[in-house]
Structure 1
Amino acid sequence: MKVMCKYLKLMLLAGFMLGSMVLNAQEAKLVRAQALYNEKKPDIARLCIDSVVTHPETAKRYEAWTIRGFVYYEIYKRNDKNVLESSLRDTIISSIKRSNQLKPDADYKSQNDKILSTISVHYRSIARSYLFEQSNYELSLKAYNKFRELFLLADSVANIKERDIEYNLAVGSHFSDKFNLDKSNVKAFEIAKVTLMKALEMNPTDTSANMNMGVMYLNQATSLIEKIDAGEASIKDVDIIQDDAAKLAKQAEQFFLKVYNQNNKNRKAVLALYYVYRVLLDEAKILAFEQKCKELKIQVMDESSNPKK
């Protein structure tokens, strides 16, 4: 991150303006820390700058805290960029926050924002890694919330809504896929449901979220019907299972209809609704959506099935 070189020049110029005045020991360390940073010697610079920010004479210099953040960043980026818990990263963030509290000038504030933005991207990458590589929602969410905090610190007027929708859709889609493959995975269903509903709170007409929610409910409904068809249900339980399947199908219907009402030629929504009405034994709508499938050249299977996402 080559963003600090000009500060050394600014500080040296300030020194020249002092004429014959001599920098005190801590100010000299501040200049030294910045010089070492520019010379790509962050480990030595770290010793200088840590002394500077703890000394009463320089502890309230926003320049010192910004430089500390950048010095630590050079050390942090070696091994900690993809680590969720990093004391080096914590030091960078706390240093930049302290610099901002001390009301830096426009140049320093800009550099503070840049480093916060850069680190926020690292957190976002970590969130994706925990989600897609480990299916660990708890740690993924922790990393995402860190991203969110720094993203807004770097730009308080930024629109975070689109990123929130994107993240919740990614989580919801990932865990709905896992649930659809293994309907005993209740945890996957709950995570998918919570995150997809968050996405729908922010954008009620989102096609992906509505389809994912609908498919999960429809899959549960058809699984119950398949249980009856396979003779796995006792006669006394058939009516109860059919009622449960109908309730799940009605849950699915509301989500598919949101998509269908926006675009009545959406092939996935049309096919999904056809299967919903088969579960509900609604003959009129079965025929109507069977005809729509023919018009859109959608292949309909005789057996109960679910639309692929």
Structure 2
Amino acid sequence: MIVVNAAWRGQRTTGQQRYASEVTRRLLSHPGVVARPARTSANRWLAWTQVQGLSVSSKDEVLVTLTSRSPVFHRRHVVAVHDHFVLSNPEWYSRRYVLTHAPVLKAQLRGASGLVFVSEATRTRHVDLYGGETPAVVAPNGVTAPPLDTVRPWPLGRPYLLAVASADPRKNIDRLVQAYSSLPPGLRRQVSLVLVGGTNSTVFAASQDAVDDSSGILKLGYVSDDELWSLYRGARAVVVPSLDEGFGLPLIEAASLGTPLVVSDIPVFRWIAADRAVYFDPKDVDSIRDGLRRVISDEVVAVDPAAVRSRFCWDDTAQRVLDLSRRLEVAG
């Protein structure tokens, strides 16, 4: 039997939770797959998941964990690896988060019977750090975009660039705001910068709130899924200035609607977008500004929504996770 760890249920939907939700729903359509629901509040998840790992003790069971809420100890455990940043870049997180999560992630990676990587870049990083002996698959995020003709553009009233990011310093929003603010006033009057995303001070290290009353910047905070699709659809381009990523969900979501991309030149974004994006150096404000200037001036690279939806498909992702889990189940 394959048991899906459902400790993510009840959390606000972010990239990992969406991944777990979409993959779990598809896994449960197969015989011999069940979900073990959480029976604890969110602030007690760590203790609960460790107990769960010990409780799945049957020799016939494989535990599948699709988010970071994962037990350390389990006989046969498939672990989804979204990134290694709490280990490689602890400065991006709060001290408390690092103290509780870094040791757990190390133990999970070392004890896993199978690994699921959300991108080839994440797999490569893992092999560099820990080697490639553990059975593994690359199973990327998928697209959940509605049909193109059903999404109405966001009615902002003038063109805008869209950035979707949390308060994580890795998202590099401070430099993006600096770059946009350094554009000539005429360009900022021509195209706004819209920022979307929530905050979580218990997870991420403090960063300067660079968003003020600068002309042209609109901060919307957390938005619903329907609102987000509408924002993607209406944007002149989607800007992703991340210093690093395990995947890059805004890239495929925006591209699935045909919205151009202007993004950091990092390995995972090259893996996702290849030559179908405008790239910039995320550590260089001038480079970011030049990328913004290009898309404002309509120097955009066309994307193919059908190709994006075909390549990043949740059904394919779930099948890869299932195939790996079945191999471990049969191996005993």
User: In which range does the TM-score fall when normalised by the shorter chain?
Assistant: under 0.3
- Larger strand proportion of the pair: 2
Which has the larger Rg? 1
The one of the two structures with greater contact order (alpha-carbon pairs below 8 A, sep at least 6) is 2
- Larger helix proportion of the pair: 1
TM-score normalized by the length of structure 2:
0.25
TM-score normalized by the length of structure 1:
0.26
